[in-house]
Amino acid sequence: MAVSASSPVLSEALVLAPVTALDWLVIAPVAWCIGIGAVLMMVRHRGMLQPLIAIAALTVLVCLDAMLLWHVSQGGPVTMVMGRWLPPFGIAFTVDLTGALFALAAAVVALAGAVAAMADIDASGRRYGFYPFLMLLMAGASGAFLTGDIFNLYVWFEVLLISSFGLLVLGSRSAQIDGAVKYGFLNLVATTLFLVATGYLYGIFGTLNMADIARKAPGLRDTAPLMTLTALYLLAFSMKAAAFPVNFWLPASYHTPRIVVSALFAGLLTKVGIYALIRVSILLFPVEREILGPVLALVAILTMLTGGLGALAQTDSRRLLGYLVISGIGSMLAGIAIGGPDAIAGTLFYALHSMLVMTALYLAIGLAARLGAGFSLAVPSGLYRDHAALAFLTLALFFSVSGLPPFSGFWPKVMLVKAALDAGAVWLAGALLLTGFLTMIATGRLFLLSYWRPRDERTAGAGQAGLPVSGLPVRRLPITIVAPLVVLTALSLLIGLFPETLLALARQAALALTTPTAYLDSVFAPGSLQ
Protein backbone atom coordinates (compact mmCIF):
# COMPACT_ATOMS: atom_id res chain seq x y z
CA MET A 1 0.00 0.00 0.00
CA ALA A 2 1.45 3.31 -1.05
CA VAL A 3 -0.21 5.43 1.63
CA SER A 4 0.69 4.61 5.21
CA ALA A 5 -1.95 2.71 7.09
CA SER A 6 -2.21 5.38 9.74
CA SER A 7 -3.65 7.96 7.32
CA PRO A 8 -6.94 9.18 8.79
CA VAL A 9 -8.67 9.03 5.41
CA LEU A 10 -7.74 5.40 4.92
CA SER A 11 -9.16 4.32 8.26
CA GLU A 12 -12.44 5.98 7.32
CA ALA A 13 -12.65 4.14 4.01
CA LEU A 14 -10.99 0.78 4.55
CA VAL A 15 -11.13 -2.16 6.87
CA LEU A 16 -7.59 -2.09 8.18
CA ALA A 17 -7.66 -5.08 10.53
CA PRO A 18 -6.32 -8.20 8.81
CA VAL A 19 -8.87 -10.90 8.05
CA THR A 20 -8.56 -13.86 10.39
CA ALA A 21 -7.88 -17.25 8.86
CA LEU A 22 -11.33 -18.60 9.77
CA ASP A 23 -13.06 -15.62 8.19
CA TRP A 24 -11.60 -16.51 4.80
CA LEU A 25 -14.09 -19.39 4.90
CA VAL A 26 -16.76 -16.86 3.93
CA ILE A 27 -15.36 -16.48 0.44
CA ALA A 28 -13.69 -19.88 0.16
CA PRO A 29 -16.63 -21.91 -1.28
CA VAL A 30 -17.14 -19.49 -4.16
CA ALA A 31 -13.45 -19.03 -4.99
CA TRP A 32 -12.86 -22.78 -4.77
CA CYS A 33 -15.74 -23.63 -7.13
CA ILE A 34 -14.70 -21.08 -9.75
CA GLY A 35 -11.07 -22.19 -9.57
CA ILE A 36 -11.86 -25.88 -9.91
CA GLY A 37 -14.37 -25.05 -12.65
CA ALA A 38 -11.54 -23.42 -14.61
CA VAL A 39 -9.25 -26.41 -14.04
CA LEU A 40 -11.96 -28.81 -15.20
CA MET A 41 -12.50 -26.70 -18.30
CA MET A 42 -8.81 -27.17 -19.13
CA VAL A 43 -8.99 -30.95 -18.79
CA ARG A 44 -12.35 -31.33 -20.49
CA HIS A 45 -11.00 -33.86 -22.97
CA ARG A 46 -9.84 -36.18 -20.18
CA GLY A 47 -13.09 -38.00 -19.54
CA MET A 48 -11.79 -40.16 -16.70
CA LEU A 49 -9.87 -37.45 -14.86
CA GLN A 50 -12.77 -34.96 -14.69
CA PRO A 51 -15.11 -36.82 -12.33
CA LEU A 52 -12.23 -37.62 -9.99
CA ILE A 53 -11.21 -33.96 -9.73
CA ALA A 54 -14.83 -32.82 -9.40
CA ILE A 55 -15.70 -35.35 -6.71
CA ALA A 56 -12.57 -34.54 -4.71
CA ALA A 57 -13.27 -30.81 -5.10
CA LEU A 58 -16.91 -31.17 -4.03
CA THR A 59 -15.86 -33.24 -1.01
CA VAL A 60 -13.59 -30.35 -0.05
CA LEU A 61 -16.52 -27.99 -0.67
CA VAL A 62 -18.72 -29.99 1.72
CA CYS A 63 -15.94 -29.75 4.34
CA LEU A 64 -15.54 -26.00 3.74
CA ASP A 65 -19.28 -25.40 4.08
CA ALA A 66 -19.45 -27.60 7.20
CA MET A 67 -16.60 -25.61 8.77
CA LEU A 68 -18.34 -22.39 7.78
CA LEU A 69 -21.57 -23.59 9.39
CA TRP A 70 -19.68 -24.50 12.54
CA HIS A 71 -17.91 -21.13 12.57
CA VAL A 72 -21.17 -19.22 12.10
CA SER A 73 -23.08 -21.26 14.66
CA GLN A 74 -20.31 -20.58 17.19
CA GLY A 75 -19.63 -16.90 16.63
CA GLY A 76 -22.67 -15.50 14.82
CA PRO A 77 -22.75 -13.94 11.35
CA VAL A 78 -19.42 -13.24 9.67
CA THR A 79 -18.77 -10.46 7.17
CA MET A 80 -15.95 -10.03 4.71
CA VAL A 81 -15.72 -7.05 2.38
CA MET A 82 -14.14 -7.22 -1.07
CA GLY A 83 -11.21 -4.88 -1.57
CA ARG A 84 -11.35 -4.01 2.15
CA TRP A 85 -13.67 -1.07 1.47
CA LEU A 86 -15.81 -0.37 4.49
CA PRO A 87 -19.42 -1.45 4.05
CA PRO A 88 -21.66 -0.32 2.44
CA PHE A 89 -19.12 0.75 -0.21
CA GLY A 90 -17.38 -2.57 -0.72
CA ILE A 91 -19.27 -5.63 -1.85
CA ALA A 92 -19.90 -7.55 1.35
CA PHE A 93 -20.15 -11.29 1.81
CA THR A 94 -22.16 -11.83 4.97
CA VAL A 95 -22.83 -15.36 6.12
CA ASP A 96 -25.45 -16.11 8.70
CA LEU A 97 -26.81 -19.44 9.82
CA THR A 98 -29.44 -19.54 7.05
CA GLY A 99 -26.89 -19.01 4.28
CA ALA A 100 -24.44 -21.52 5.76
CA LEU A 101 -27.14 -24.19 6.14
CA PHE A 102 -28.31 -23.77 2.55
CA ALA A 103 -24.73 -23.77 1.24
CA LEU A 104 -23.92 -27.01 3.06
CA ALA A 105 -27.07 -28.76 1.82
CA ALA A 106 -26.33 -27.57 -1.74
CA ALA A 107 -22.78 -28.91 -1.54
CA VAL A 108 -24.04 -32.31 -0.35
CA VAL A 109 -26.53 -32.44 -3.22
CA ALA A 110 -23.86 -31.46 -5.75
CA LEU A 111 -21.49 -34.11 -4.44
CA ALA A 112 -24.23 -36.73 -4.78
CA GLY A 113 -24.89 -35.49 -8.32
CA ALA A 114 -21.22 -35.57 -9.28
CA VAL A 115 -20.89 -39.18 -8.12
CA ALA A 116 -24.09 -40.26 -9.83
CA ALA A 117 -22.98 -38.52 -13.03
CA MET A 118 -20.08 -40.96 -13.36
CA ALA A 119 -22.62 -43.52 -14.54
CA ASP A 120 -25.20 -41.23 -16.10
CA ILE A 121 -23.14 -38.75 -18.14
CA ASP A 122 -21.35 -40.31 -21.08
CA ALA A 123 -18.05 -39.32 -22.65
CA SER A 124 -19.61 -36.74 -24.97
CA GLY A 125 -21.50 -35.12 -22.10
CA ARG A 126 -18.23 -34.84 -20.22
CA ARG A 127 -16.43 -33.43 -23.23
CA TYR A 128 -19.12 -30.78 -23.59
CA GLY A 129 -18.47 -29.76 -20.02
CA PHE A 130 -20.85 -31.39 -17.54
CA TYR A 131 -18.39 -31.13 -14.67
CA PRO A 132 -17.22 -27.53 -15.29
CA PHE A 133 -20.89 -26.49 -15.54
CA LEU A 134 -21.59 -28.31 -12.29
CA MET A 135 -18.77 -26.49 -10.50
CA LEU A 136 -19.90 -23.12 -11.86
CA LEU A 137 -23.48 -23.94 -10.87
CA MET A 138 -22.17 -24.51 -7.37
CA ALA A 139 -20.20 -21.25 -7.51
CA GLY A 140 -23.45 -19.47 -8.38
CA ALA A 141 -25.46 -21.25 -5.70
CA SER A 142 -22.82 -20.76 -2.98
CA GLY A 143 -22.38 -17.12 -3.97
CA ALA A 144 -26.13 -16.53 -3.78
CA PHE A 145 -26.30 -18.12 -0.32
CA LEU A 146 -23.28 -16.31 1.08
CA THR A 147 -23.43 -12.80 -0.35
CA GLY A 148 -24.62 -9.81 1.61
CA ASP A 149 -25.09 -7.49 -1.36
CA ILE A 150 -28.26 -7.52 -3.39
CA PHE A 151 -26.73 -6.69 -6.78
CA ASN A 152 -24.13 -9.35 -6.13
CA LEU A 153 -27.02 -11.75 -5.47
CA TYR A 154 -28.30 -10.88 -8.95
CA VAL A 155 -24.91 -11.66 -10.46
CA TRP A 156 -24.81 -15.08 -8.74
CA PHE A 157 -28.32 -15.76 -10.01
CA GLU A 158 -27.03 -15.18 -13.52
CA VAL A 159 -23.99 -17.41 -12.98
CA LEU A 160 -26.37 -20.09 -11.77
CA LEU A 161 -28.69 -19.57 -14.71
CA ILE A 162 -26.01 -19.66 -17.40
CA SER A 163 -24.55 -22.88 -16.01
CA SER A 164 -28.02 -24.39 -15.76
CA PHE A 165 -28.56 -23.55 -19.47
CA GLY A 166 -25.37 -25.44 -20.24
CA LEU A 167 -26.47 -28.47 -18.24
CA LEU A 168 -29.99 -28.39 -19.63
CA VAL A 169 -28.99 -28.59 -23.31
CA LEU A 170 -26.23 -31.16 -22.77
CA GLY A 171 -27.03 -33.89 -25.28
CA SER A 172 -29.19 -31.70 -27.54
CA ARG A 173 -32.12 -34.06 -27.93
CA SER A 174 -35.15 -32.34 -29.42
CA ALA A 175 -37.15 -32.48 -26.18
CA GLN A 176 -34.25 -30.80 -24.41
CA ILE A 177 -34.10 -27.98 -26.95
CA ASP A 178 -37.86 -27.53 -26.60
CA GLY A 179 -37.65 -27.45 -22.79
CA ALA A 180 -34.60 -25.17 -22.83
CA VAL A 181 -36.37 -22.56 -24.99
CA LYS A 182 -39.17 -22.24 -22.44
CA TYR A 183 -36.85 -22.45 -19.46
CA GLY A 184 -34.49 -19.90 -20.97
CA PHE A 185 -37.01 -17.23 -21.90
CA LEU A 186 -39.06 -17.40 -18.71
CA ASN A 187 -36.05 -17.46 -16.40
CA LEU A 188 -34.53 -14.57 -18.29
CA VAL A 189 -37.69 -12.56 -17.67
CA ALA A 190 -37.59 -13.52 -13.98
CA THR A 191 -33.98 -12.42 -13.44
CA THR A 192 -34.61 -9.25 -15.44
CA LEU A 193 -37.52 -8.46 -13.12
CA PHE A 194 -35.12 -8.99 -10.23
CA LEU A 195 -32.74 -6.51 -11.87
CA VAL A 196 -35.57 -3.99 -12.39
CA ALA A 197 -36.48 -4.25 -8.71
CA THR A 198 -32.83 -3.83 -7.75
CA GLY A 199 -32.59 -0.72 -9.93
CA TYR A 200 -35.53 0.84 -8.12
CA LEU A 201 -34.11 -0.27 -4.79
CA TYR A 202 -30.89 1.54 -5.58
CA GLY A 203 -32.88 4.60 -6.63
CA ILE A 204 -34.71 4.60 -3.29
CA PHE A 205 -31.98 3.60 -0.86
CA GLY A 206 -28.77 4.63 -2.60
CA THR A 207 -27.18 1.44 -1.34
CA LEU A 208 -27.08 -2.22 -2.31
CA ASN A 209 -25.75 -3.69 0.91
CA MET A 210 -28.48 -5.82 2.51
CA ALA A 211 -27.63 -4.86 6.08
CA ASP A 212 -27.61 -1.21 5.09
CA ILE A 213 -31.01 -1.60 3.41
CA ALA A 214 -32.47 -3.34 6.47
CA ARG A 215 -31.07 -0.53 8.61
CA LYS A 216 -32.44 2.28 6.47
CA ALA A 217 -35.86 0.79 5.65
CA PRO A 218 -37.66 1.93 8.85
CA GLY A 219 -36.71 5.56 8.16
CA LEU A 220 -37.90 5.45 4.56
CA ARG A 221 -41.11 3.51 5.10
CA ASP A 222 -43.37 6.56 5.22
CA THR A 223 -42.02 8.35 2.17
CA ALA A 224 -40.69 5.71 -0.25
CA PRO A 225 -42.71 3.18 -2.30
CA LEU A 226 -41.35 0.18 -0.42
CA MET A 227 -44.59 -1.77 -0.89
CA THR A 228 -44.23 -1.63 -4.66
CA LEU A 229 -40.59 -2.60 -4.40
CA THR A 230 -41.37 -5.61 -2.20
CA ALA A 231 -44.16 -6.71 -4.52
CA LEU A 232 -41.74 -6.55 -7.47
CA TYR A 233 -39.17 -8.64 -5.60
CA LEU A 234 -41.78 -11.17 -4.58
CA LEU A 235 -42.92 -11.53 -8.19
CA ALA A 236 -39.36 -11.98 -9.46
CA PHE A 237 -38.38 -14.52 -6.81
CA SER A 238 -41.70 -16.36 -7.01
CA MET A 239 -40.95 -16.88 -10.67
CA LYS A 240 -37.48 -18.22 -9.84
CA ALA A 241 -38.93 -20.42 -7.12
CA ALA A 242 -41.74 -21.66 -9.42
CA ALA A 243 -44.72 -20.41 -7.39
CA PHE A 244 -48.16 -20.89 -8.87
CA PRO A 245 -49.10 -18.44 -11.59
CA VAL A 246 -45.51 -18.14 -12.84
CA ASN A 247 -44.25 -21.71 -12.63
CA PHE A 248 -44.91 -23.13 -16.07
CA TRP A 249 -41.27 -23.21 -17.03
CA LEU A 250 -40.62 -25.96 -14.50
CA PRO A 251 -42.88 -28.77 -15.72
CA ALA A 252 -41.94 -27.82 -19.29
CA SER A 253 -38.24 -28.38 -18.81
CA TYR A 254 -37.25 -30.35 -15.71
CA HIS A 255 -37.98 -33.75 -17.23
CA THR A 256 -36.02 -33.20 -20.44
CA PRO A 257 -32.28 -33.41 -19.53
CA ARG A 258 -30.28 -36.36 -18.20
CA ILE A 259 -31.70 -37.60 -14.93
CA VAL A 260 -28.68 -36.42 -12.92
CA VAL A 261 -29.18 -32.90 -14.25
CA SER A 262 -32.87 -33.05 -13.32
CA ALA A 263 -31.86 -34.23 -9.85
CA LEU A 264 -29.42 -31.35 -9.42
CA PHE A 265 -31.96 -28.80 -10.68
CA ALA A 266 -34.65 -30.14 -8.35
CA GLY A 267 -32.24 -29.90 -5.43
CA LEU A 268 -30.67 -26.54 -6.18
CA LEU A 269 -32.44 -24.09 -8.49
CA THR A 270 -35.86 -23.41 -7.01
CA LYS A 271 -34.38 -23.46 -3.50
CA VAL A 272 -32.15 -20.50 -4.40
CA GLY A 273 -35.36 -18.64 -5.30
CA ILE A 274 -36.88 -19.55 -1.93
CA TYR A 275 -33.70 -18.46 -0.18
CA ALA A 276 -33.78 -15.08 -1.93
CA LEU A 277 -37.47 -14.74 -1.09
CA ILE A 278 -36.73 -15.36 2.60
CA ARG A 279 -33.79 -12.99 2.53
CA VAL A 280 -35.70 -10.12 0.96
CA SER A 281 -39.09 -10.53 2.62
CA ILE A 282 -37.94 -11.40 6.14
CA LEU A 283 -34.64 -9.56 6.51
CA LEU A 284 -35.16 -6.48 4.35
CA PHE A 285 -38.89 -5.74 4.24
CA PRO A 286 -40.62 -7.50 7.16
CA VAL A 287 -43.36 -4.87 7.50
CA GLU A 288 -44.29 -5.09 3.81
CA ARG A 289 -44.27 -8.90 3.98
CA GLU A 290 -46.74 -8.66 6.86
CA ILE A 291 -49.11 -6.64 4.67
CA LEU A 292 -48.63 -8.93 1.67
CA GLY A 293 -49.10 -12.00 3.90
CA PRO A 294 -52.63 -12.88 2.68
CA VAL A 295 -51.52 -12.65 -0.97
CA LEU A 296 -48.54 -14.89 -0.24
CA ALA A 297 -50.80 -17.33 1.60
CA LEU A 298 -53.13 -17.52 -1.40
CA VAL A 299 -50.18 -18.07 -3.74
CA ALA A 300 -48.84 -20.73 -1.38
CA ILE A 301 -52.16 -22.60 -1.27
CA LEU A 302 -52.58 -22.46 -5.05
CA THR A 303 -48.98 -23.59 -5.58
CA MET A 304 -49.41 -26.52 -3.23
CA LEU A 305 -52.68 -27.62 -4.78
CA THR A 306 -51.65 -27.22 -8.43
CA GLY A 307 -48.47 -29.12 -7.59
CA GLY A 308 -50.37 -31.94 -5.92
CA LEU A 309 -53.11 -32.17 -8.55
CA GLY A 310 -50.59 -31.80 -11.37
CA ALA A 311 -48.64 -34.73 -9.95
CA LEU A 312 -51.81 -36.83 -9.95
CA ALA A 313 -52.44 -36.14 -13.64
CA GLN A 314 -49.05 -37.25 -14.96
CA THR A 315 -48.13 -40.38 -16.85
CA ASP A 316 -44.40 -39.67 -16.81
CA SER A 317 -42.66 -40.20 -13.48
CA ARG A 318 -40.15 -37.37 -14.13
CA ARG A 319 -42.94 -34.89 -14.77
CA LEU A 320 -44.73 -36.17 -11.68
CA LEU A 321 -41.65 -35.33 -9.63
CA GLY A 322 -41.51 -31.89 -11.25
CA TYR A 323 -44.98 -31.18 -9.87
CA LEU A 324 -43.88 -32.47 -6.47
CA VAL A 325 -41.05 -29.91 -6.53
CA ILE A 326 -43.72 -27.25 -7.11
CA SER A 327 -45.99 -28.43 -4.31
CA GLY A 328 -42.96 -28.41 -1.98
CA ILE A 329 -42.29 -24.80 -2.97
CA GLY A 330 -45.90 -24.05 -1.99
CA SER A 331 -45.28 -25.45 1.50
CA MET A 332 -42.17 -23.31 1.89
CA LEU A 333 -44.12 -20.25 0.73
CA ALA A 334 -46.74 -21.02 3.38
CA GLY A 335 -44.11 -20.51 6.06
CA ILE A 336 -43.03 -17.21 4.52
CA ALA A 337 -46.69 -16.13 4.30
CA ILE A 338 -47.20 -16.76 8.02
CA GLY A 339 -43.95 -15.09 9.05
CA GLY A 340 -42.60 -15.24 12.57
CA PRO A 341 -39.63 -17.33 13.74
CA ASP A 342 -41.54 -20.62 14.08
CA ALA A 343 -42.94 -20.57 10.56
CA ILE A 344 -39.63 -19.44 9.05
CA ALA A 345 -37.85 -22.24 10.91
CA GLY A 346 -40.36 -24.63 9.31
CA THR A 347 -39.66 -23.17 5.87
CA LEU A 348 -35.89 -23.47 6.34
CA PHE A 349 -36.21 -27.06 7.54
CA TYR A 350 -38.53 -27.89 4.63
CA ALA A 351 -36.13 -26.38 2.11
CA LEU A 352 -33.16 -28.37 3.44
CA HIS A 353 -35.21 -31.58 3.51
CA SER A 354 -36.56 -30.92 0.03
CA MET A 355 -33.07 -30.36 -1.41
CA LEU A 356 -31.91 -33.78 -0.25
CA VAL A 357 -35.09 -35.74 -0.94
CA MET A 358 -36.01 -34.34 -4.37
CA THR A 359 -32.48 -35.05 -5.62
CA ALA A 360 -32.68 -38.58 -4.24
CA LEU A 361 -36.10 -39.12 -5.84
CA TYR A 362 -34.88 -38.18 -9.32
CA LEU A 363 -31.86 -40.45 -8.87
CA ALA A 364 -34.18 -43.27 -7.75
CA ILE A 365 -36.50 -43.08 -10.75
CA GLY A 366 -33.45 -42.73 -13.00
CA LEU A 367 -32.16 -45.97 -11.56
CA ALA A 368 -35.56 -47.59 -12.07
CA ALA A 369 -35.59 -46.46 -15.71
CA ARG A 370 -32.11 -47.90 -16.13
CA LEU A 371 -33.41 -51.26 -14.92
CA GLY A 372 -35.95 -51.30 -17.71
CA ALA A 373 -38.91 -49.64 -16.04
CA GLY A 374 -38.86 -46.54 -18.25
CA PHE A 375 -40.51 -43.37 -17.07
CA SER A 376 -44.08 -44.16 -18.06
CA LEU A 377 -46.60 -45.06 -15.40
CA ALA A 378 -48.51 -47.07 -17.97
CA VAL A 379 -45.75 -49.65 -18.22
CA PRO A 380 -45.46 -51.93 -15.19
CA SER A 381 -41.90 -52.83 -14.32
CA GLY A 382 -42.19 -55.39 -11.57
CA LEU A 383 -39.26 -53.76 -9.83
CA TYR A 384 -40.83 -54.63 -6.50
CA ARG A 385 -40.22 -58.29 -7.26
CA ASP A 386 -36.93 -58.05 -9.10
CA HIS A 387 -35.24 -55.34 -7.03
CA ALA A 388 -36.98 -55.26 -3.70
CA ALA A 389 -34.26 -53.22 -2.02
CA LEU A 390 -34.50 -50.41 -4.59
CA ALA A 391 -38.29 -50.49 -4.37
CA PHE A 392 -38.14 -50.14 -0.60
CA LEU A 393 -35.65 -47.30 -0.85
CA THR A 394 -37.92 -45.49 -3.31
CA LEU A 395 -40.93 -46.10 -1.07
CA ALA A 396 -39.02 -44.55 1.84
CA LEU A 397 -38.36 -41.46 -0.28
CA PHE A 398 -42.03 -41.32 -1.29
CA PHE A 399 -42.96 -41.37 2.41
CA SER A 400 -40.43 -38.66 3.08
CA VAL A 401 -41.70 -36.35 0.36
CA SER A 402 -45.30 -36.90 1.50
CA GLY A 403 -44.33 -35.90 5.04
CA LEU A 404 -44.79 -39.22 6.81
CA PRO A 405 -42.72 -40.18 9.83
CA PRO A 406 -40.07 -41.40 10.48
CA PHE A 407 -38.54 -39.43 7.58
CA SER A 408 -37.29 -35.88 7.27
CA GLY A 409 -40.43 -34.56 5.57
CA PHE A 410 -42.49 -35.09 8.71
CA TRP A 411 -40.97 -32.46 11.00
CA PRO A 412 -41.12 -29.36 8.78
CA LYS A 413 -44.73 -30.21 7.95
CA VAL A 414 -45.54 -30.43 11.66
CA MET A 415 -43.78 -27.12 12.27
CA LEU A 416 -45.60 -25.39 9.42
CA VAL A 417 -49.04 -26.75 10.35
CA LYS A 418 -48.49 -25.76 13.98
CA ALA A 419 -47.32 -22.28 13.00
CA ALA A 420 -50.36 -21.89 10.70
CA LEU A 421 -52.75 -22.95 13.47
CA ASP A 422 -51.03 -20.66 15.97
CA ALA A 423 -51.41 -17.77 13.54
CA GLY A 424 -55.09 -18.64 13.10
CA ALA A 425 -54.63 -19.52 9.43
CA VAL A 426 -56.79 -22.63 9.45
CA TRP A 427 -57.12 -22.67 5.67
CA LEU A 428 -53.39 -22.70 5.24
CA ALA A 429 -53.00 -25.56 7.73
CA GLY A 430 -55.75 -27.45 5.89
CA ALA A 431 -54.06 -26.89 2.54
CA LEU A 432 -50.75 -28.13 3.94
CA LEU A 433 -52.34 -31.33 5.17
CA LEU A 434 -54.35 -31.79 1.98
CA THR A 435 -51.16 -31.38 -0.05
CA GLY A 436 -49.48 -34.07 2.01
CA PHE A 437 -52.45 -36.30 1.25
CA LEU A 438 -52.38 -35.53 -2.49
CA THR A 439 -48.62 -36.14 -2.58
CA MET A 440 -49.13 -39.47 -0.88
CA ILE A 441 -51.76 -40.52 -3.41
CA ALA A 442 -49.61 -39.39 -6.34
CA THR A 443 -46.50 -41.18 -5.13
CA GLY A 444 -48.58 -44.17 -4.09
CA ARG A 445 -49.98 -44.40 -7.61
CA LEU A 446 -46.49 -44.22 -9.04
CA PHE A 447 -45.42 -47.03 -6.74
CA LEU A 448 -48.44 -49.21 -7.48
CA LEU A 449 -48.51 -48.67 -11.22
CA SER A 450 -44.83 -48.75 -11.98
CA TYR A 451 -43.12 -50.68 -9.21
CA TRP A 452 -45.69 -53.09 -7.90
CA ARG A 453 -47.32 -54.48 -11.02
CA PRO A 454 -45.27 -57.42 -12.30
CA ARG A 455 -43.85 -57.03 -15.74
CA ASP A 456 -45.54 -59.91 -17.58
CA GLU A 457 -49.02 -58.83 -16.52
CA ARG A 458 -48.84 -56.10 -19.09
CA THR A 459 -48.20 -58.37 -22.04
CA ALA A 460 -51.30 -60.35 -21.07
CA GLY A 461 -53.36 -57.21 -20.64
CA ALA A 462 -52.09 -55.75 -23.94
CA GLY A 463 -53.78 -52.46 -24.80
CA GLN A 464 -50.78 -50.37 -23.85
CA ALA A 465 -49.12 -50.18 -27.20
CA GLY A 466 -45.92 -48.29 -27.72
CA LEU A 467 -42.94 -49.66 -25.91
CA PRO A 468 -41.71 -53.07 -27.02
CA VAL A 469 -42.20 -55.94 -24.62
CA SER A 470 -39.10 -55.62 -22.56
CA GLY A 471 -37.12 -58.75 -22.40
CA LEU A 472 -34.43 -56.37 -21.27
CA PRO A 473 -31.60 -58.09 -19.51
CA VAL A 474 -31.52 -56.50 -16.08
CA ARG A 475 -28.19 -54.79 -15.89
CA ARG A 476 -26.17 -54.61 -12.72
CA LEU A 477 -26.95 -51.60 -10.59
CA PRO A 478 -24.21 -49.00 -11.01
CA ILE A 479 -22.68 -48.40 -7.60
CA THR A 480 -22.06 -44.73 -8.42
CA ILE A 481 -25.81 -44.09 -8.52
CA VAL A 482 -26.75 -46.47 -5.73
CA ALA A 483 -24.25 -45.01 -3.25
CA PRO A 484 -25.45 -41.37 -3.38
CA LEU A 485 -29.04 -42.58 -3.37
CA VAL A 486 -28.49 -44.68 -0.25
CA VAL A 487 -26.59 -41.87 1.47
CA LEU A 488 -29.28 -39.27 0.71
CA THR A 489 -32.07 -41.60 1.85
CA ALA A 490 -30.11 -42.43 5.00
CA LEU A 491 -29.70 -38.69 5.63
CA SER A 492 -33.45 -38.23 5.27
CA LEU A 493 -34.09 -41.08 7.71
CA LEU A 494 -31.45 -39.79 10.11
CA ILE A 495 -32.92 -36.29 10.10
CA GLY A 496 -36.36 -37.83 10.62
CA LEU A 497 -35.21 -39.91 13.59
CA PHE A 498 -32.92 -37.34 15.22
CA PRO A 499 -34.26 -33.95 14.18
CA GLU A 500 -33.07 -32.10 17.32
CA THR A 501 -29.82 -30.68 15.90
CA LEU A 502 -31.35 -29.43 12.68
CA LEU A 503 -34.46 -28.19 14.49
CA ALA A 504 -32.32 -26.16 16.85
CA LEU A 505 -30.24 -24.79 13.97
CA ALA A 506 -33.34 -23.89 11.93
CA ARG A 507 -34.93 -22.16 14.94
CA GLN A 508 -31.73 -20.24 15.63
CA ALA A 509 -31.42 -19.26 11.96
CA ALA A 510 -35.05 -18.11 11.81
CA LEU A 511 -34.66 -16.06 14.97
CA ALA A 512 -31.54 -14.42 13.53
CA LEU A 513 -33.54 -13.55 10.40
CA THR A 514 -36.55 -12.07 12.17
CA THR A 515 -34.44 -10.04 14.64
CA PRO A 516 -31.37 -9.30 12.55
CA THR A 517 -29.36 -7.38 15.17
CA ALA A 518 -26.42 -9.78 14.95
CA TYR A 519 -26.50 -9.65 11.13
CA LEU A 520 -26.40 -5.86 11.10
CA ASP A 521 -23.72 -5.75 13.80
CA SER A 522 -21.49 -8.06 11.80
CA VAL A 523 -21.56 -5.67 8.84
CA PHE A 524 -21.53 -2.36 10.67
CA ALA A 525 -19.71 -2.08 13.99
CA PRO A 526 -22.31 -1.81 16.78
CA GLY A 527 -23.27 1.78 17.50
CA SER A 528 -21.88 3.18 14.24
CA LEU A 529 -24.22 5.73 12.77
CA GLN A 530 -24.66 7.03 9.30
Partner 1 sequence: MEPVFALLTGLFLTVSVYLMLSKSIIRMLLGVAILGNAVNLLLFTNGRILREVPPVIAAGLDVPAGPTANPLPQALILTAIVISFSFFAFLLVLAWRAYGTLGADNTDRMRVAEPEDGGPPPSGY
Is the Cβ–Cβ distance between 238 and 281 less than 8 Å?
A: no
Q: Does 85 bind partner 1 (CB under 8 A)?
A: no
Q: Does 182 bind partner 1 (CB under 8 A)?
A: yes
Q: Does 151 bind partner 1 (CB under 8 A)?
A: yes
Specify the stretch interacting with partner 1 by CB under 8 A; choose among 141-149, 307-315, 428-436, 502-510: 307-315
DSSP string, 469-488: P-----PPPPHHHHHHHHHH
Is the Cβ–Cβ distance between 510 and 342 less than 8 Å?
A: yes
Selected from 35, 75, 203, 218, the binder of partner 1 by CB under 8 A is 203
Q: Does 172 bind partner 1 (CB under 8 A)?
A: yes
Q: Does 60 bind partner 1 (CB under 8 A)?
A: no
Within a 13 Å sphere around the CA of 295, how many CA atoms are in the beta-carbon half?
12
- Considering the complex, what minimum distance in angstroms separates the CB of residue 220 from partner 1? 15
Nearer to partner 1, 94 or 314 (CB): 314
Round to whole Å and give the CA distance between 476 and 433. Answer: 39
In the chain, count of helices (H) and strands (E)? 23, 2
Nearer to partner 1, 256 or 400 (CB): 256
Specify the stretch interacting with partner 1 by CB under 8 A; choose among 41-49, 192-200, 293-301, 519-527: 192-200
Q: Does 224 bind partner 1 (CB under 8 A)?
A: no
Q: Does 165 bind partner 1 (CB under 8 A)?
A: yes
Nearer to partner 1, 176 or 435 (CB): 176
Selected from 235, 369, 449, 518, the binder of partner 1 by CB under 8 A is 449
Is the Cβ–Cβ distance between 103 and 145 less than 8 Å?
A: yes
Round to whole Å and give the CA distance between 176 and 255. Answer: 9
- Considering the complex, what minimum distance in angstroms separates the CB of residue 235 from partner 1? 14
Round to whole Å and give the CA distance between 265 and 271. Answer: 9
- Considering the complex, what minimum distance in angstroms separates the CB of residue 446 from partner 1? 10
Specify the stretch interacting with partner 1 by CB under 8 A; choose among 137-145, 195-203, 503-511, 522-530: 195-203
Q: Does 378 bind partner 1 (CB under 8 A)?
A: yes
Alpha-carbon distance values, 52 to 36, 46, 128, 178, 416 (Å)? 12, 11, 17, 32, 40
Selected from 16, 63, 82, 175, the binder of partner 1 by CB under 8 A is 175
- Count of residues near partner 1 by CB under 8 A: 45
Specify the stretch interacting with partner 1 by CB under 8 A; choose among 114-122, 308-316, 411-419, 473-481: 308-316
Is the Cβ–Cβ distance between 484 and 58 less than 8 Å?
A: no
Nearer to partner 1, 244 or 350 (CB): 244
Is the Cβ–Cβ distance between 384 and 369 less than 8 Å?
A: no
Indicate the SS3 state at residue 316. strand
Q: Which amino acid appears at position 13 of this protein?
A: A
Is the Cβ–Cβ distance between 337 and 278 less than 8 Å?
A: no
- Considering the complex, what minimum distance in angstroms separates the CB of residue 9 from partner 1? 5
- Considering the complex, what minimum distance in angstroms separates the CB of residue 206 from partner 1? 9
Nearer to partner 1, 172 or 515 (CB): 172
Q: Does 223 bind partner 1 (CB under 8 A)?
A: no
With DSSP H G I counted as helix, E B as strand and the rest as coil, what are the percentages for the chain, rounded to 5?
A: 75, 5, 20
Within a 13 Å sphere around the CA of 229, how many CA atoms are in the beta-carbon half?
23
Round to whole Å and give the CA distance between 285 and 267. Answer: 27
Cβ neighbors of 119 (< 8 A, separation 6 or more) are 478, 480, 481
Q: Does 504 bind partner 1 (CB under 8 A)?
A: no
Residues 309-328 that bind partner 1 (CB under 8 A): 312-316
Round to whole Å and give the CA distance between 492 and 477. Answer: 22
- Considering the complex, what minimum distance in angstroms separates the CB of residue 332 from partner 1? 25
Q: Does 177 bind partner 1 (CB under 8 A)?
A: yes
Residues 393-432 that bind partner 1 (CB under 8 A): none
Selected from 15, 19, 55, 155, the binder of partner 1 by CB under 8 A is 155
- Considering the complex, what minimum distance in angstroms separates the CB of residue 196 from partner 1? 6
- Considering the complex, what minimum distance in angstroms separates the CB of residue 510 from partner 1? 32
DSSP string, 37-101: HHHHHHTTT-TTHHHHHHHHHHHHHHHHHHHHHHHHHHH--EEEEGGGBPTTTSPEEEE-HHHHH
Nearer to partner 1, 175 or 467 (CB): 175
Q: Which residues of this chain interact with partner 1, rule CB under 8 A?
A: 9, 151, 155, 158, 162, 165, 169, 172, 174-182, 184-185, 188-189, 192, 195-196, 199-200, 202-203, 251-253, 255-256, 312-316, 377-378, 445, 448-449, 452-453
